[in-house]
């Protein structure tokens, strides 16, 4: 008989493990839903506020047009790169809607729609992707941290801010977004561990679109679901249909309230799909089939919600046309702002690197300033 074959239980005549190893907890309350939670198409949808559903629809229409226009700007050379969130709009707008003005959002590079939904102007949200500067908006004014290109490095920042706010007595929740690929990163696990130990008021939203660029989820994780990873850190896990805008708003609202009330952090896994390639530099046909994409287009979040609203008599053709007109106005605003050449200051390269610049940086800045002055004089 091997050790693994022996029946479970404490050795005779001893108490094992000793108390110093911490209490053992029943994991059942932390386990995620067995299937992704859905609201649209169920009786629950009939009980939701019609105005909330209309607002979700309006924001979905804006979000879809925003993605289309940003992609077009990339093809025109106005953006260096754009990772579209087409198909994932329900995740992003719901994440922004459930936060109070005093809460914080910690986005990843694909989450500019969530940033715009928090009130940041598109031209500012897309500054990094335009290649103008590292960052384009005032994080404190909008309570939105800079876009994080390295995977999941923003997650420990969210935990740190949330914990600090709690220590100061501020009623703040931090929500951070990450893709399924980010859940394989060390920063993600460290953030979950700290969040669980500190009971920090933070929500982790994992947008599981099935691929880490081209690597399918089955080659990234052997967990039953990504939401199950929460349990190992003593955190509640939730599993939701990321293409169901009503379900996303419901689950994220509950998660934020759970964290705000002091009951601890929550990990929400939203099962979704990006309908476009990873970025404009990617050829998605090399790793996924047309049939797969077609199947997910049938579950387009915009189509799902519009169908429900029409069947429930909550919108008509005039309302659909009004939402489309507002989206066109947003696109026109984006075109106007991006067709204007930005005024850049090369010396800003040296800002926000150190609180007190090093002698070497001061020397380099002075050298660049002299070169710029000489160039101006020569004109």
Predicted confidence pLDDT, tens digits, the chain (379 residues):
555 565 555 555 566 666 777 767 889 999 999 999 999 999 999 999 999 999 999 999 999 999 999 999 999 999 999 999 999 999 999 999 999 999 999 999 999 999 999 999 999 999 999 988 888 899 999 999 999 999 999 999 999 999 999 999 999 999 999 999 999 999 999 999 999 999 999 999 999 999 999 999 999 999 999 999 999 999 999 999 999 999 999 999 999 999 999 999 999 999 999 999 999 888 999 999 999 999 999 999 999 999 999 999 999 999 999 999 999 999 999 999 999 888 888 898 888 788 899 999 999 999 999 999 999 888 8
Distances (CA, A) of 174 to 34, 124, 134, 213, 219: 26, 21, 22, 26, 30
Among all residues, which ones are annotated catalytic?
A: 274, 278, 287
Pair 178, 204: CB distance under 8 Å: yes
- Max distance between CA atoms of the chain, in angstroms, equals 91
E strand or H helix that includes residue 176: strand 174-179
* 3 state SS of 82: coil
Distances (CA, A) of 377 to 367, 369, 372: 15, 12, 9
Confirm whether pTM is higher than 0.75: yes
The percent helix, strand, coil of the chain (3-state, each to 5) is 50, 10, 40
Report the b/e string of 184-195 with b at 16+ CB within 10 A.
Answer: bbebbbebbbbb
In this structure, the number of other CB atoms found within 10 A of the CB of residue 24 comes to 7
DSSP state of 224: S
The answer for 170, left when phi > 0, alpha when psi is -120 to 50, beta otherwise, is beta
How far apart are the C-alpha atoms of 25 and 30, rounded to whole Å? Answer: 10
* C-alpha closest to that of 154 among 90, 214, 223, 204: 204
């Amino acid at each position: 008989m091997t050790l693994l074959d022996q029946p479970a239980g404490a050795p005779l005549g001893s108490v094992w493990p000793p108390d110093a190893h911490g209490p053992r907890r029943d994991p059942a309350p932390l386990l995620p839903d067995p299937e992704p939670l859905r609201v649209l198409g169920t009786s629950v949808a009939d009980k939701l506020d019609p105005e909330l559903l209309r607002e979700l629809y309006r924001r979905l229409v804006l979000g879809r047009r925003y993605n289309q226009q940003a992609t077009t700007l990339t093809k025109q050379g106005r953006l260096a790169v754009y990772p579209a969130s087409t198909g994932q709009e329900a995740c992003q707008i719901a994440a922004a809607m459930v936060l109070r003005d005093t809460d914080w959002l910690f986005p990843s590079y694909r989450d500019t729609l969530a940033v715009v939904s928090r009130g940041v102007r598109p031209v500012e949200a897309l500054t990094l992707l335009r290649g103008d500067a590292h960052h384009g908006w005032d994080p404190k004014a909008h309570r939105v941290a800079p876009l994080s290109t390295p995977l999941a490095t923003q997650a420990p920042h969210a935990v740190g801010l949330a914990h600090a706010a709690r220590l100061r007595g501020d009623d703040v929740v931090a929500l951070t977004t990450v893709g399924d690929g980010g859940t394989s990163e060390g920063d993600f696990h460290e953030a979950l561990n700290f969040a669980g130990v500190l009971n920090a008021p933070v929500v982790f939203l994992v947008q599981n679109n099935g691929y880490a660029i081209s690597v399918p989820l089955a080659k990234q994780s052997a967990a039953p679901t990504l939401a199950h990873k929460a349990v190992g850190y003593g955190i509640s896990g939730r599993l939701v249909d990321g293409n169901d805008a009503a379900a996303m708003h419901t689950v994220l609202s509950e998660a934020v309230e759970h964290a705000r009330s002091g009951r601890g952090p929550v990990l929400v896994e939203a099962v979704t799909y990006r309908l476009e390639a990873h970025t404009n530099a990617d050829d998605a046909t090399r790793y996924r089939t047309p049939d797969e994409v077609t199947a997910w287009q049938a579950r387009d979040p915009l189509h799902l919600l519009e169908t429900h609203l029409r069947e429930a008599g909550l919108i008509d053709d005039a309302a659909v046309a009004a939402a489309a007109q507002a989206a066109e106005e947003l696109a026109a605003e984006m075109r106007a702002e991006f067709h204007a050449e930005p005024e850049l200051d090369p010396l800003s390269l040296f800002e926000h690197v150190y609180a007190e610049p090093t002698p070497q940086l001061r020397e380099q800045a002075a050298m660049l300033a002299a070169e710029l002055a000489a160039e101006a004089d020569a004109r």
